[in-house]
Structure 1
Amino acid sequence: MNISSEAAEILEHVGGSSNVSALQHCSTRLRFTLADDRTVDESALKSIPGVLGVVRGPQTQVIVGGRVLEYYRAVEKLRSGSPTAAAAEKTRTPWTVKRVGSKVLDFVVSVFVPIIPAIAGAGIFKSLLVLAAALGWIDRETDSYALISAVPDAVFAFLPLLVAYTTAKKLDVNRPVALGTVALLLFPAFTALVTQEGGTALFGIPVPVVNYNSQVFPAILAVLLLWGTERFFTKFSWPPIRTFFVPLMCYLVVAPATVFLIGPLGFEIGDLFAGLLFNFHNTFGWIAVALLAAILPFLISVGMHKPLLPPTITTMATYGKESFYLTASLAHNISEAGASFAVALRTRNQGLRAIAVSAGFSALFGVTEPALYGVTLQNRRALIAVLAGAITSGAYLGITFVDTFAIVSPGLASISMFIDSLDPWNLIHALIGLVIGLVVSFVVGVVLWKDSDSGTLRVLGQAESQPLNAADDTVSLAIVAPMKGEVVELSSLEDGVFSSGVLGEGVAIRPADGRVVAPVTGTVTSMLDSRHAIGIRTDDGVEVLVHVGMDTVALDGAPFTTHVAQGDRVEAGQPVIDADLDAIRAAGLDTITPVVVVNSAGRDVRFTTGQHTERAAQLIELTTIKETANGTV
């Protein structure tokens, strides 16, 4: 089964296009906002090969792992082609508290999640710059420092514009008009008038003095008002003049309302949220950090950690730092890693060990979904280890008043977010807290773990209860190199989806030329329109993915020529794709090509890296062994 057909099944089992009010995705999950949650067939969803799990809550979340973007596009393609897709809102069930919560969460996710990469990158940029100054590599008093620091500072200064764009996209409002309206609040001439001595007034009405830099709620409220205004004038305006008349009326209505009412109100709301978060932490101190770290696994599992983003962003904008949610997240993330590594050490099941190792490294670098859904939530002993590590680490981080200075998922890769130019001990305490969480969760996990009490192994045992081969319990397969070049480890790739092992075990090839051949004999199960990747399933059910280059989906198939189509039967060594490597490099992309056994869990994958391989030479030796929960039969 390929992604397109699996997407069709996913859509069917959530109630069809007419039941989907909205769809978003994060790094591993499809997030459905449904008109009627009762139509979801959870057991049928879990039986789909590519689905790793299902979470019910304010949103119905279908966990598909690292290929989430491909699933998202496939589902959206099916929805856009359905005549009933637009009917979801019309056939919705009556408003309930749960449905209101679902709508609010959907709105928060749609507005804030898309801007996280921008503010995360800017935050880490700023922290590294502070580190460079602390080490004496650059002088803070120079123009060079000021110019470089302007890059991340600009992102936060114009944060209202980013929020205006994502809000307008969510509400389907004219994006340029939304940006133009909110830009007034940041316009230097407007700011100069408002902040001058004595302030300024419009027809005798004083304009409130508010600093809108880095604020998020004024932009959201302004675009909400713009949404209603635009709909009203679009409905009642004469079509021939609508192109300019509707934006004109929107400016005339929304701009004054934003200056005198919406903007100041949004500022007060943001200040209230930030103050509540700040005061809660100040009141309960380290206990609040420890408790939040302990409940984060449960909040994340149902997506309820997302509402913490707006006040966290506002707190960062108001105080320049945050010491509650992000600090607690460090304790939780690292504890997920420690517990996963403990499971990998103690389990005798190869499939669970492979899952736990890759999940542990993902969590170590700040991505916890593989650990949560693949290891800890399904195994109570591993979950206890996570809670032990999170509470102890969170308590230490809270007692030592550790602050964060960038909004990004905390982990080893983003540890610079704890650099404080005024307090070098902030980073040291963060590192100590990291070690505490890792060690405590690992030790508790090692002591508590029992394969016989593992929920994951029960699932794997059910999957493996059917013979893989009627004649023998062992199936061996030689996977040949699809390209000629140097063989390197997947972990060396910059793409976290491949390097973390979320998609499966394998290797990568730095190709010498662009000819791609089939790595195994089987059926082509995936050949996207972008032609940058091919998936092949053998007769024994082994699925192998060859992904030519990094991020090459963005090239829309231009550098690729395919020789086979989805559904075709291919032989190992048969040419399947020709890639123009020079064109890929010219586009600024890496040509390195992962070769991944997608369903490697429960299989012994052996390969050698650091050497040159010829095309069609043996690259991977794969052995599938039927196991029980106690080990190999």
Structure 2
Amino acid sequence: MDFEKLAKEIVAGVGGEKNVNSLVHCATRLRFSLKDNTKADTALLEKNPGVIAVKESGGQYQVVIGNTVPEVYEAIGKVSTIIDSSDREREAGESKSKKGFGAVIDVISSIFAPLLGVMAGAGILKGLLLICSNFGWLEAKSSTYIILFGAADSLFYFLPLLLAVTTARKFGGNIFVALTIAGALLIPSITALNGAESAVTFFGIPVVMMSYSSTVIPIIIAIIVMSKLEKFCNRRIHESVKNFITPLILLVIMVPLTLMVFGPFGVYVGNGIADILIAAFLFSPLIAGALLGAGWQLFVIFGVHWGLVPVFINNIAVYGRDGIKPAATASVFAQTGASLGVMLKTKNKKLKTLAGSATLSALFGITEPAVYGVTLPLKRPFIAGIIGGAVGGAIIGQAGTQAFASGAPGLLTLPIFYGPGGQGFSGLIMGITASFLISMVLTYILGFEDPVEEEKQEVVATTAASPAPIHHPVRASDTVLSPLSGTVVALSDVPDPAFAAEAMGKGIAVEPAEGRIVAPFAGTVTVAFKKKHALAVVSDQGLEVLVHVGMDTVKLDGEHFTSYIQEGDRVSAGQLLLEFDIARIREAGYSTITPVIVTNTFDYSDIIPLQPTVVTHGEPLLEAIGTESNTESTTHTVISNPKYST
């Protein structure tokens, strides 16, 4: 895949660089903060083969890419200044256009999304070490275990430092000052005060000391306030001294303020939210697990799942484990099973391939291709996934499964759910297996509206006799004048198997030089598609010709086309039938190569192309060689099902 080409198309699709405040990415999505979402061309982006889906959620304009999102993100950095623009990051930090719950979700996702990859890797390593320790493969006191556990646990211990960076970037604060403030919360001389026998005060004001390693909320609140205070100071301090006076003020004010106010407040809030959710699981782990297993993918679609991410991390930091997240794993495997069910059931080759690759991605926790590309568009498979997720979540909740490290739920991250003695792990395996199988079977049984192959059902060559058969003693030779000007292309070179294989008849194709289609002879219009992208004309001698402008242009829904005909119209050779905007069609990502097909090829001895390289309107393009058979009835091609046309 040409990532730089895709990057340019995405940047253009979101309204250009000037419309972008900031950009971050998670495991599968580019998350844009746009100045004006109405300037983004969602329809154009969704037609791009490199884009799975486009969603607006939590104040963000999200372009779902899939597993290759890091490469696309890097390519955007090469073809634009979006990623490096600190001004835009500051503008994004203001989030003036976002209010209420959407603004909260936008902030949380922007802060945590950049950490998901390393968080998953560290979580897997931590889970594997727990398994090795439980089975006696590695002694927990051995230097090997200690080194590897340190590599896995460092992210979680120093999490405030990492969150300081992402929060400062989000709100346009000084990253190095933010790191220094976070470091003050973890520096041994200050952490030692947590266990001090004497009271801790700051200029006589009592300070409630706590442990801030692995915490989430305190540092986020502190850096948000720091960023606001920094802007306030920079506006009022002279440029000659603000580069060092502002950081001085921030350190003197923010470190004590964080220890006295933001730290304790953040810890209490985080623990309070966690206690409420834990109480729900204690009240009825089966019901709570079922609800989370059923609803997790819905949360993901609307972006509100980010609101639970800090809770998961906080639980692991405070309690060393989390009993809420495991139920969400059932939802991931449920959508995986539903996608596999689609692959097994569908007869559409393209959908089968898509569902197969999406199933593989979903097994490793990347569900966007499965959800947005397969189950959600087909509706019933997505519902089957919700049902399967509810059953699996109930089993996991009832089993009391715990997560002992962070990481996106998937096949590789299963070790993070294996704790001391493996308690609850068997319930997790039962739950995800049940959710996978139930969703797969339900999808297969309930079925779905299987998309018809694009095998050009648009042109179904039925040999139904015309309402008024035209009798000819001999099928006379006939000439097709070129309906358009451009470069001649062999039908075998058309990027569509049905046309290239002459499944609809023999003919030729033309890469148009101008957007005009004229009548190839005197005759009658037999078909004028509502989407305006194709038409069919029959000559007075019975020669039937289909002109199809471009590939997959039916998806434009008539945009960029102007038709001047209706079915049943009489036309003369050279009469203007259709106009189209070549440039706009190509900008939309569609080929404009135009096949000109004799659909009743078998009524003639042969169809011979007459122009080898270029052609203009009205020049002879094809010669239909007549037959020497007896009188016969002319049969007309019936063209139907434009919904599935190219």
Residues of 2 paired with 1:253 and 1:229: CA distance? 10
Residues of 2 paired with 1:88 and 1:255: CA distance? 24
Unaligned runs of 5+ in 1: 476-536, 542-627
Give the corresponding residue for 2:342.
Answer: 343
Give the corresponding residue for 2:501.
Answer: 472
Shift of 1:106: 2.2
Change (3 A) 1:243 1:420: same
Residues of 1 paired with 2:363 and 2:391: CA distance? 17
Q: What is the TM-score with the length of structure 2 in the denominator? A: 0.66
Q: Is the 8 A contact 1:377 1:383 kept in 2?
A: yes
Shift of 1:416: 0.8
Give the corresponding residue for 2:363.
Answer: 364
Q: Is the 8 A contact 1:20 1:88 kept in 2?
A: no
The one-character-per-residue Cα deviations of 1:117-176 (angstroms, maximum 9, x if unpaired) are 333333222222221122122333556544543333333222111111211222232222
Residues of 1 paired with 2:252 and 2:263: CA distance? 15
Q: Which amino acid aligns with 2:104?
A: V
Change (3 A) 1:462 1:238: farther
User: Matched residue of 2:137: which SS?
Assistant: coil
Give the corresponding residue for 1:286.
Answer: 286
Q: Which amino acid aligns with 2:356?
A: V
1:449 aligns with 2:447: yes
Give the corresponding residue for 2:268.
Answer: 268
The one-character-per-residue Cα deviations of 1:12-34 (angstroms, maximum 9, x if unpaired) are 44344444333222233222223
> Comparing 111-120 with 435-444, which one deviates more in the overlay?
111-120
Give the corresponding residue for 1:213.
Answer: 213
Residues of 2 paired with 1:90 and 1:358: CA distance? 38
Residues of 1 paired with 2:328 and 2:277: CA distance? 15
Give the corresponding residue for 1:500.
Answer: none
Shift of 1:296: 2.1
Give the corresponding residue for 2:381.
Answer: 382
1:305 aligns with 2:334: no
> Comparing 98-107 with 426-435, which one deviates more in the overlay?
98-107
Shift of 1:91: 12
Change (3 A) 1:239 1:418: same
User: Map of 1:525-564 to 2, 5 A cutoff?
Assistant: none
Identity across the alignment (%)? 33
Give the corresponding residue for 2:47.
Answer: 47
User: Matched residue of 2:32: which SS?
Assistant: strand
User: Matched residue of 2:308: which SS?
Assistant: helix
Residues of 1 paired with 2:56 and 2:225: CA distance? 32
Give the corresponding residue for 1:29.
Answer: 29
Q: What is the TM-score with the length of structure 1 in the denominator? A: 0.68
Larger Rg: 2
Give the corresponding residue for 2:240.
Answer: 240
The one-character-per-residue Cα deviations of 1:276-295 (angstroms, maximum 9, x if unpaired) are 32223333422122112212
Q: Which amino acid aligns with 1:472?
A: A
Change (3 A) 1:91 1:339: closer
Q: Is the 8 A contact 2:365 2:411 kept in 1?
A: yes
Q: Which amino acid aligns with 1:294?
A: A
Residues of 1 paired with 2:210 and 2:94: CA distance? 42
1:395 aligns with 2:424: no
Shift of 1:219: 0.9
Q: Is the 8 A contact 1:10 1:45 kept in 2?
A: yes
Residues of 1 paired with 2:50 and 2:497: CA distance? 19
Q: Is the 8 A contact 1:468 1:540 kept in 2?
A: no
Residues of 2 paired with 1:110 and 1:156: CA distance? 18
Give the corresponding residue for 1:64.
Answer: 65
Q: Is the 8 A contact 1:382 1:449 kept in 2?
A: yes
User: Matched residue of 2:322: which SS?
Assistant: coil
Change (3 A) 1:464 1:363: farther
Give the corresponding residue for 2:432.
Answer: 434
Q: Is the 8 A contact 2:125 2:152 kept in 1?
A: yes
Residues of 2 paired with 1:267 and 1:101: CA distance? 21
Give the corresponding residue for 1:80.
Answer: 81
Residues of 1 paired with 2:95 and 2:429: CA distance? 50
Shift of 1:473: 5.0
Q: Is the 8 A contact 1:159 1:215 kept in 2?
A: yes
Q: Is the 8 A contact 1:17 1:88 kept in 2?
A: no
Shift of 1:215: 0.8
Q: Is the 8 A contact 2:131 2:418 kept in 1?
A: yes
Q: Is the 8 A contact 1:161 1:183 kept in 2?
A: yes
Change (3 A) 1:149 1:32: closer
Q: Is the 8 A contact 1:335 1:387 kept in 2?
A: yes
Shift of 1:272: 2.1
Shift of 1:331: 0.5
Change (3 A) 1:142 1:467: closer
Change (3 A) 1:310 1:288: same
Residues of 1 paired with 2:122 and 2:69: CA distance? 25
Change (3 A) 1:71 1:99: farther
Shift of 1:53: 2.1
